Amino acid sequence: MNLHNVSWVRQEMVLPSARPAGQGGPREWMRKNLFDGWLSTLLTVASVTAIAWLIVAIAPWLGNSIWKANSLAECRQLLDGAPGACWGVIRDRWPQLLFGFYPADLYWRPVLAFALLLAALAPVLFRALPSRTLWFSAVYPGLAGWLIWGGSLWFPVAVYLGFAVAAGLFASTARASQGLGLSVAGLGAALWWVYAAQPFSSAANAVIPIVLEAVPSREIGGFLLSIIIGVTGIATSLPLGILLALGRRSGLPLIYMLSVVFIEFIRGVPLITLLFTASLLLNYFLPPGTNFDLILRVVIMVTLFASAYMAEVIRGGLAGLPCGQYEAAEALGLDYWKAQRLIILPQALKISIPGIVNTFIGLFKDTTLVMFIGLLDPIALAAAIRANTEWQGIYWELFIFIGAVFFIFCFGMSRYSMYLERRLKTDHR
């Protein structure tokens, strides 16, 4: 028999009240996080000691930095036996590290291209800017190419006209069938680029010459080269990766097979192999006498390499979406491309941001591999500088500087991706 009386009713509801004081504060935080038991205390002391030791070891070397010296010998003389960093090498070779062997009187052109790059990137990266400015982002690649390589302005214009040709052909044939429209547009643009672009730009140039002094690719180097390869690779590998990821999930056997073979082949081959292919082997396959720019070849290889990784990262994001999203989009009558563009990809890309940025950062750092095929990226220049009698024997300063510049770019990408994730966070979990 139950002796309790289970019947009970609350007479008043309890109102929310403030949390008791005395929790938190720096003392409490330190006790909880730094000195919580003997093991934690031991680890804290050991870590602090290690950091202190590192600082004590490096500080005098950094503190005695020499900025004004024209050779390592001069540096050593100034230091007089004391430990010290000789940053004079950075100061002495600054233009070379930035531009390679780009003609000194034309430095304004890559500098202007870099400044315009920031203006072109801003509307893509930050939505606050009006979408009209995106037009400049679209024009920028041609403009930057012209500024850096010089030559006739009509050449990039002719290349852009290829897109206009494609758009025109697509608009006039897509009514019959979208697939037909795409093929005709692609073929038309390709024919334009191969046969008409060069005569067009020569003819236009004959009428209205707008020419910058041409700079050959072998003179372009340093961080300018890294940024050219990195930015072009990043900008083109993302859309290519998206197409490959969609292809790998496609129900059409031919597209599926092509995507799988491409991704698996590119992922299975080291980048350095692809770069050697670009620099040496392609010459055997191309018709003799074709002058296919080495930097362009390298950019293509780096892009293909990154896009294979990108495709797999994005495929992960696509697989992470519940199938209800596909069904809802279909049930509303959206066709495949609209469903992908408006519903699926915005969500899949959001999930994939960490992986995408990972690939971007990897691509940017991999640009240093081009030194092995004779392009003068910062690492190759460092080697060249160290081979010079003035700076023979210098080591840490050059590589610390190069590392720091790469770090700034990569850290910037990482911070931007975190900002983007916060901005796109709408799930309120």
Partner 1 sequence: MSKTLRGLSPENRRGLSETAVEITSMNKWYGDFHALRDINLTVRRGERIVICGPSGSGKSTMIRCINRLEEHQSGKIVVDGIELTSDLKKIEEVRREVGMVFQHFNLFPHLTILENCTLAPIWVRKVPERQAKEIAMHFLEKVRIPDQAHKYPGQLSGGQQQRVAIARSLCMKPRIMLFDEPTSALDPEMIKEVLDTMIALADEGMTMLCVTHEMGFAQAVADRVIFMDQGQIVEQNEPRAFFSAPRSERTRTFLGQILGH
> Phi and psi at residue 235, in whole multiples of 5°?
-70, -30
Q: What's the Cα-to-Cα distance from 240 to each of 51, 145, 226, 265, 304, rounded to whole Å?
A: 44, 21, 21, 16, 8
Q: What's the Cα-to-Cα distance from 374 to each of 218, 366, 371, 389, 392, rounded to whole Å?
A: 9, 15, 5, 21, 21
User: Given the rule CB under 8 A, which of 230-238, 261-269, 329-337, 372-380 is the region that contacts partner 1?
Assistant: 329-337
423 binds partner 1 (CB under 8 A): no
CB 418 → partner 1: shortest distance, Å?
Answer: 18
327 binds partner 1 (CB under 8 A): yes
CB 354 → partner 1: shortest distance, Å?
Answer: 17
Which residue bears the tokens 């007479």? 11
User: How many angstroms separate the CA atoms of 342 and 330, rounded?
Assistant: 12
What count of Cα atoms within 13 Å lies in the side-chain half-sphere of residue 274? 21
User: Given the rule CB under 8 A, which of 46-54, 73-81, 317-325, 360-368 is the region that contacts partner 1?
Assistant: 317-325
Please name the residues in contact with 193: beta carbons below 8 A apart, sequence gap of 6 or more. Answer: 159, 162
Please name the residues in contact with 143: beta carbons below 8 A apart, sequence gap of 6 or more. Answer: 113, 116, 156
User: Given the rule CB under 8 A, which of 6-14, 92-100, 253-261, 340-348 is the region that contacts partner 1?
Assistant: 340-348
SS (H, E, C) 236-255: HHHHHHHHHHHHHCCCCHHH
- Here's the x/- map for partner 1, 348-387, by CB under 8 A: it reads as --x-------------------------------------
Q: Please pick, from the candidates 18, 56, 331, 404, the single residue that binds partner 1 as defined by CB under 8 A.
A: 331
393 binds partner 1 (CB under 8 A): no
In 3D, which of 377, 371, 256 has the Cα closest to residue 315? 256
User: How many angstroms separate the CA atoms of 290 and 186, rounded?
Assistant: 23
Three-state DSSP class for 143?
helix
CB 351 → partner 1: shortest distance, Å?
Answer: 10
User: Given the rule CB under 8 A, which of 25-33, 168-176, 192-200, 338-346 is the region that contacts partner 1?
Assistant: 338-346
CB 140 → partner 1: shortest distance, Å?
Answer: 28
Site size with partner 1, rule: CB under 8 A: 23
Q: Please pick, from the candidates 31, 32, 267, 338, the single residue that binds partner 1 as defined by CB under 8 A.
A: 338
Q: Please pick, from the candidates 212, 243, 410, 424, the single residue that binds partner 1 as defined by CB under 8 A.
A: 424
427 binds partner 1 (CB under 8 A): yes
269 binds partner 1 (CB under 8 A): no
> Can you give the binding site for partner 1, defined by CB under 8 A?
322, 324-325, 327-335, 338, 342-343, 346-347, 350, 424, 426-429
